[in-house]
Homo-oligomer: A and B are copies of this chain.
Amino acid sequence: MNTNSSNMMALAPNTSKKRETVCIFGTGDFGRALGHKMIQCGYHVVYGSRSTQISNLVPKDAEVLSHAEAAQKAAIVIIAIQRQHYNFLTPLAEILRGKVVVDISNNLKLNQYPESNAEYLAQLLPGARVVKAFNTVSAWALQSGALDASRQVFVCGDDTEAKEMVMNIVRALGLTPLDQGSLLAAQEIENYPLQLFPMWKFPIFLSLGLTAFFFFYCLALDVIYTYIYEHNNFSFFIAMTIPNRICPVVALILLGLVYLPGVLAAIIQLYRGTKYRRFPDWLDKWMLCRKQLGLIALAFASLHAVFTLASPLRSFVKWRNAKPIISQALNNKTEPLDTTNAWLSDSYLALGIIGFFFFVLVGITSLPSVSNSVNWREFRFVQSKLGYLTLILCTAHTLVYGGKWFLSPTAYKWYLPNIYMLSLVVPCAVLVVKFVLIFPCVDKPLTQIRQGWERNPKSSEQSNYIINKSAV
């Protein structure tokens, strides 16, 4: 195998080229991993340590000196020490004056301290040019070269030249530096690696809650009801039938919930006569997680599509399809084609397929690289126009699927509606309100409001700032 790929390049030692000397304070795991990597990439590394005795853990080609001696040997000092031990650096402030001091620390919790570690370090060392970097890279990734997710190194600092020096080291290690501006960005950079899909939490819990609710609803109506009243054991419905009922229902409800906050916001703006008053907090948060809601809806819709396409493979479906054929053969007759049924079945399938197609299209534009390559107008077109088209098609798909069953009393076991009827509530409400909102008499004032016009400029502005104050 050719080892000269860009992935492996960074692993290969090119010791023939000597780069500058870099000092690392601290011989912990990350300090050692970083030092090892830098030596591989041609840097000369000097460790600053309290004791020069534990040198057997440190890369062999590195020197180990006292902190003061080590710092004097290099223009760049990397602090691989935890924040609670930063105090010991104060006596070294004079030696570190003018040097590039790199803070690579992370915290255990989000916003653990009032100021970021890098800003705290800058306070301790007034003369040093503090740069924040490397905190998003793991020691394991540095050592193993498995740098798929962590190629990006966020760098920030107040001194442009110092930042450039650190970014050159980042590039030399085979990583991608991203300039995040001044040291004020350090807090954000330190919080970044602690997150685990923060924007996804609410949408995922919501969809899991809906799934659980509809699972028990279906279990009662499809398995338990059938067992009690018809003495059929359809427990195997749990594997395919019930999931394939839940998925489209959750997908349609979530898709409705993507467009509901936009409609609510329009009503609030129309009612208030201004766009300069802040929305309620729940609406703000809801609007910010619409993308996540939509993508989870797409996941459920995809599962529904595959479950449906796989249904002819099920032995239950084969058995159910064989029954009418055998009975026709036994009764010695061939039933003619029911054209109404053919229309219904074909159009509900076609609506579903085309709706799903547009849904996937909208989903593809949510990929970061695609949404970055379209402009605002194009993005709005896809997310708003194509999104509403998807909602209309999927709602129509469900309505046609229901067909004549809406009014049939046998569809209501235990007087409860089938779950696809429940799924129609949110999207139908959104579509009806949206339909009202595009009437010219409603659309015109709304457009004016969104362009900055206000019905009662004075009063609204005041209440705005009252609200903002209480929110801050």
Contacts and interface: CB of A to CB of B under 8 A. Distances in A.
Interface stretch (A85-93, A249-257, A298-306, A434-442): A298-306
A231 interface: no
A27 to B, nearest CB: 10
A2 B110 contact: yes
A288 B8 contact: yes
A452 interface: yes
A338 to B, nearest CB: 7
A66 interface: no
B345 A451 contact: no
B287 A6 contact: no
Given A56-B457, A195-B4, A236-B346, A149 B313 contact: no
A19 B184 contact: yes
A12 to B, nearest CB: 10
B367 A338 contact: no
Contacts of A433: none
Given A8-B288, A57-B457, A110-B2, A334 B326 contact: yes
A165 to B, nearest CB: 11
A175 B214 CA distance: 41
B171 A136 contact: no
B314 A376 contact: no
A324 B318 CA distance: 11
A109 to B, nearest CB: 10
Interface string A114-128: 000000000000000
Nearest to A363: B364
Contacts of A314: 342, 345-346, 349
A455 to B, nearest CB: 13
A306 B164 contact: no
Interface in A146-186: 146, 148-152, 160, 164, 167-168, 171-172, 179-182, 184-185
A342 B377 contact: no
A422 interface: no
A408 interface: no
B239 A376 contact: no
Given A56-B462, A303-B353, A306-B309, 20 more contacts: A8-B288, A42-B184, A57-B276, A57-B461, A136-B375, A149-B371, A168-B181, A171-B181, A172-B182, A172-B184, A172-B185, A196-B377, A197-B374, A240-B350, A306-B353, A309-B310, A310-B353, A315-B346, A326-B328, A369-B370
Contacts of A60: 465, 468
Contacts of A180: 171
One complex includes copies of this chain to the number of: 3
Interface in A396-451: 450-451
Contact of A140 (B182, B332, B450, B472): B450
A454 interface: yes
A13 B146 contact: no
Contacts of A383: 148-149
Interface stretch (A95-103, A198-206, A216-224): A198-206
Residue with the greatest number of chain B CB neighbours at <10 A, chosen from A3, A110, A149: A149
A108 interface: no
A228 interface: no
A315 B342 contact: yes
Interface string A311-331: 111111011011111111110
A328 B321 contact: no
Contacts of A288: 7-8, 145-146
B306 A305 contact: yes
Interface in A235-280: 235-236, 239-241, 243, 275-276
